[in-house]
Amino acid sequence: CAAIPVGAERPQGLASAPLADTLCALQSSASRAAADVPGSAESEDAQYATEHESAQALALTRSSAEPLPHTLLDKLRPTSEPTSRFYVYPELDWLSMTCDGVPIEKVIANTSYLNKFPKHSDDYLFIKRALEHPLRTDDPEKAEIFVVPSLFNVITQQLTKLHKTPYKSCCVKGICNAALYHQVEVMLSNSQWYNRSAGRDHVLVNSHWDHERSVDAYFKRINNCSSISFEENSLRGGRCRVASTYVGRPCKSAKRKGFAFSMVASMAHENNFPDRVKTCELLSRAEGKDPQRFSVSICGTGEQCPALAVSKFGFHAKGDTWGSNRVMDTMLSRSVPAFTAEEQFDVLPPFVPWRDLSVMVHIDDEERFMEDLDTAMGQYEEKIAMVQKWIPLIDWERSGGAFDRYMSFFEQCIESELHWDP
């Protein structure tokens, strides 16, 4: 790739100039498949301070991607268990990462860090679950799937929010920030297992909203792996891309559900979040009409716990994109998700029966909204039973759990008769 002159307009979706130039330099180096990687990228990282556009821009670029075929979707079952043995590349000990000396587990556990970053920690939990899984093999000759461990979400969050993060560098054994992308690209270029299939049977996590725009355009081998991605279910690039669930944050289960509804969500950018504003306005009017039946614990900004746990339903209204960790927060808190748009189902992984465990409440018309609320209340017992049944599918903290569902999906996708273009 070539640097774009200062002042020139950048192609839509391309990273900001400093970010793009840094990644271009790393890509050029990686394409030579150098055996050694510089120990630090600190001088390059200062260039990442530029703000990026909203995640909406990225979501729009996905609209033309080839969807997952029905022949595959029809085979998916929520209870499917993975059977393929998999190999985890050992070259980098990602779980030893530190950010300015702080162990990565403490960085991720810090719920105040960068707007509750734990929702993007599926890369960290994916590695943990993979390393402890009984289907893992240390012999690549015996593997049918290859796991490429990485903390790309951590790195992307760190570098695209450098002006907000308390950390200067996140490093694995002296290799820091952007240089870690390069290290993975070089590792794959030198791998006989990757090269025999051009990455078709390799899987990784790159589900941060800014990852594709910041990285995928620059590192072909990383992008040629099947992946857990941001709000995407497609065969883009001839690889299986399946949407992330986000990592939910549960509230302690309440003995009694004293309220009917809640929605704990950011309302700071009201011009960007009209669906949230409208939802709260409609809920307020509904509660005014029947405060007993349609009681609301909270709608808008506030503390998630215990408000969500003491409510029968947790609303999910669009923010800057259709997706949110709110659905997972609601389920893990033993409440029923209330969707407000059909598009919200499309950006969730297809192996979970979302419609069976949720209700739909339309916000385009007040009369219809009231009817949907009334219907939802009548379905509560049925829906909460389904939530309880399917919680393991989205629980990353549980052994097996979400990890097994994703590996089962990749297994079926890789084995299916799809057209794979390297």
DSSP state of 265: -
What's the pLDDT at 33?
45
The span from the CA of 407 to the CA of 306, in Å, is 33
User: Is the CB of residue 415 less than 8 Å from the CB of residue 240?
Assistant: no
**Tokens 């393991």 appear where?**
392
**pLDDT given for residue 46 in this prediction:** 36
Helix H or strand E encompassing 178: helix 178-189
User: Is the link from the previous residue into 306 a cis peptide, with omega within 30 of 0?
Assistant: yes
Classify residue 336 as left (phi > 0), alpha (psi -120 to 50) or beta: beta
User: Could you tell me how far CA 144 lies from the centroid of its own chain?
Assistant: 25
Strands 175-176 and 170-172: antiparallel
Determine phi and psi for 203, rounding to 5 degrees. Answer: -130, 150
- φ, ψ dihedrals at 263, nearest 5°: -155, 105
Note down pLDDT in tens along the chain; length 422 residues.
Answer: 543 333 333 333 334 444 555 555 555 555 554 344 333 333 333 333 333 344 444 444 444 556 666 556 666 565 678 999 999 999 999 999 999 999 999 888 875 554 456 788 999 999 999 999 999 999 999 999 999 999 999 888 877 766 667 788 999 999 999 899 999 999 999 999 999 989 999 999 999 887 766 666 678 899 999 999 999 888 888 888 999 988 888 999 888 999 999 999 888 654 568 899 999 999 999 999 999 999 999 999 889 999 999 999 999 998 878 888 899 999 999 999 999 999 999 999 988 999 999 999 999 999 999 999 999 999 999 999 999 999 988 999 887 789 999 999 999 888 875 544 44
Contact criterion met (CB below 8 Å) for 392 and 401: yes
Q: How many CB atoms lie within 10 A of CB 293?
A: 12
CB 213 within 8 A of CB 13: yes
The pLDDT of residue 81: 84
Report pLDDT for 37.
38
What's the pLDDT score for residue 272? 66
pLDDT for the residue numbered 80: 73
Q: How far apart are CA 214 and CA 216, in angstroms?
A: 7
Dihedral angle sign, alpha carbons of residues 265, 270, 274, 279:
positive
Which pLDDT value is given to residue 364? 95
CATH architecture of 259-394: 3-Layer(aba) Sandwich (3.40)
Would you list the domain boundaries of the chain?
17-243, 259-394
Q: What are phi and psi of 351, to 5 degrees?
A: -90, 5
Structure tokens given for 372: 């949907």
CA distance 172 to 6: 33
> CA-CA distance, 44 to 50, in Å (whole number)?
13
